[in-house]
A and B are shown apart, each in its own frame.
Chain A
């Protein structure tokens, strides 16, 4: 039974990883893959607007006559960029702060926890919208807005895990051998905490894609003419009633696929790593 679960988790992780790699390749190779390279990502009025998918335009064209297939390919760059900035910065801030907070404990820990919890209490999209409105547009700023939402998540997971690792007997042993607090934190505790991170890394990345798309959809994120799935979805919506389904369908499909891929990766890793963790502790 357990073996079967493990195999399933392995398959899920590989599928998730495959999807993620495919998207990274799409993003990197967008200039090569896009069928109208000469026009680049911003080219407009190439062809009559709102054309159904055909051999010339695999995913049709939008209201400005842009090739949807090209925009979907270029859009992968924007999405991955925003996602990467968001989760990597969140990890870079949340992890050390969580480690420090959990290690020193006491009133410093309580104070940091209070701040983080109050940030956590905000609805994610609302907070991101607020930060995005303050910082202004652009992929980097949207990444920062997303960072703000996820710092408390990384902080909490790191801090709680630190609290438990701190009490492990090998930490006491290291202390009895005269290890410095800094060494105890970064050599003896950090690695043992870090193994819980990949799972939330993948899951929060999936969530970040949705949040970024949501921000763009609300008009607070990426601005035209930059190709972005959420933004394209938002613009295309008004033409849906005229039977123009392809301009919403394909960007939406990409968002869903990438999110599913990252979720598979996260859940798969979770199932793979957790039994190992439990076995290691026993």
Chain B
């Protein structure tokens, strides 16, 4: 992932999108089995000690969540959320922390006069803007947004997306946008990774993925988007697999309309099909 780039992660419920977001910050529940590597600015995160990773959280990588209604401490004022967060990372006075909080909130168009209010006094959209302000107050270089608009209505959703776009442009911040809404991805992201059963099945530029998908799952996912002209809803038959005992071979084969015997046996590797497009399918060439 390049500086200032935004990647969208799409996939069904339970395909491991949010888990990925939490893995980046190493805040998965204790005793979670972890494999693989996450590199950030050339350092492997899982090798860092707890104090280092704590500093990365918030200061370098920030996470915003899908449920803003419950992400703020109900017994703390907005002001204190900011002061606590800033002072966990930097030795600054309360006044200075407060001043930075006001700036951050102002950029999210939250009025200064409400800084001493408690979370329950705000609407969902405002709380999400406060969460974003809180995530950005330390100027992280990567923002992980885990379905930031799922629980909000469309008008607020549009506002939040506009804010994310703006941040990208102004601060050259990288964005990892986790969502199941393909429309949002098309609007905000440069590249898309399609997740299925905890694995990337296809990754490429927004243009390639939306117009020239390779993997059958991506194709079916795109077909299921509802347009104004939609007369009939397309859905993918079956349910997402149980990740405790995932299917053998290609994890999508039980639901894939093109599945062949070899799909059941061999795990397909991620292969390059176009300059910037990779997919994990044995028969990817047939779909080009």
Contact = CB atoms under 8 A, between A and B. Distances in A.
B266 interface: no
A169 B63 contact: no
B73 A178 contact: no
A189 to B, nearest CB: 9
| A168, A174, A177, A179: most-surrounded residue (chain B CB, <10 A) | A177
Contact of B88 (A172, A178, A195, A280): A178
Label chain A's interface by main secondary structure.
helix
A177 B62 contact: yes
A170 B72 contact: yes
Interface residues of A, number: 19
Contacts of B89: 178
B25 A176 contact: yes
Nearest to B67: A169
A177 B58 contact: yes
Interface stretch (B49-57, B104-112, B273-281): B49-57
Given A169-B67, A183-B84, A176 B27 contact: yes
Nearest to A175: B27
Contacts of A38: none
B58 A176 contact: yes
Given A180-B88, A183-B84, A187-B84, A174 B73 contact: yes
Interface in B68-124: 70-76, 80, 84-85, 88-89, 120
B203 interface: no
A192 interface: yes
Given A178-B89, A179-B88, A180-B54, A173 B71 contact: yes
Contacts of A176: 22, 25, 27, 57-58, 62-63, 65
A280 B75 CA distance: 10
Nearest to B88: A179
A191 interface: yes
Contacts of A180: 54, 88
A188 interface: yes
Interface of A: 168-170, 172-180, 183, 187-188, 191-192, 195, 280
Interface of B: 22, 25, 27, 54-59, 62-63, 65, 67, 70-76, 80, 84-85, 88-89, 120, 131, 134-135
Shortest beta-carbon contacts, A-B, top 10: A178-B58, A178-B57, A177-B58, A173-B71, A176-B63, A191-B75, A169-B70, A170-B73, A177-B85, A178-B54
